[in-house]
Amino acid sequence: MAADTWLVVGLGNPGTRYEATRHNIGYLVVDELLERMSSALTRTKARAQAATGRMPGTGGRPGDRAVLVRPSTYMNESGQPVGQLARFHSVTPDRVIAIHDDVDLDFDSVRLKKGGGEGGHNGLRSLTSHLGTRDYLRVRAGVGRPPGRMDTADYVLGRFSAQERETLPIFVSDLADAVEALIADGLVTAQQRFHAPR
């Protein structure tokens, strides 16, 4: 692969049981990006589904190449296929973008960062283990905190509320925009855009 290749990973769990749950918002964003690229996922030998295409560029120039990935493993093992695909496509960790749910952010919040801790997120912990570093990019999708004394795992594995579902398509679109901005404009410029009050 060329040096302009990115690995864009939507974290989630496979199977109909987990569809449309908060923990699977990374899958939803990859689906949105696939639709924009008019592409479709295919199975790989790395226990993941992937598609390759061009991201939007700036100034009329073609954008960078991106490999969109949905691991077919459960969340806590997602680092294994990601690490394998990163090596196969010669993508360095600083060009890996992980899209994941974040209970420390209000629902509908978009935050971008490079590196840092995993915040108890098993998918990020697995990525860090298999990439050998925490210095990859993250698109943090706020899903809010569980109500009352509800267990965090039960909350993120639950489906979005009826009220959340009303704005979920816009939220997913914003997250996809953030991925495109990260690739086209870089982290600092994308942060300035998406961290501003909306």
DSSP state at residue 120:
T
Q: Using CA atoms, how far apart are residues 44 and 108, in angstroms rounded to an integer?
A: 32
Q: Is the whole model's pTM more than 0.75, yes or no? A: yes
> What sections of the chain are H helices per DSSP?
25-37, 79-88, 122-131, 152-156, 162-185, 187-194
Q: Is 195 a catalytic site residue? A: no
DSSP percent split of the chain into helix, strand, coil, nearest 5: 40, 20, 40
Q: How many other C-beta atoms are found inside a 10 Å radius of the C-beta of residue 151?
A: 9
Query: In whole angstroms, what separates CA 81 from the centre of its chain?
Result: 14
pLDDT (mean) for 48-55: 95
CA atoms within 13 A on the CB side of 110: 27
Q: What confidence tens digit (pLDDT) does each residue in 146-192 have?
A: 999 999 999 999 999 999 999 999 999 999 999 999 999 999 999 99
75-92 residue pLDDT tens: 999 999 999 999 999 999
From 23, 89, 100, 121, active-site residue: 23
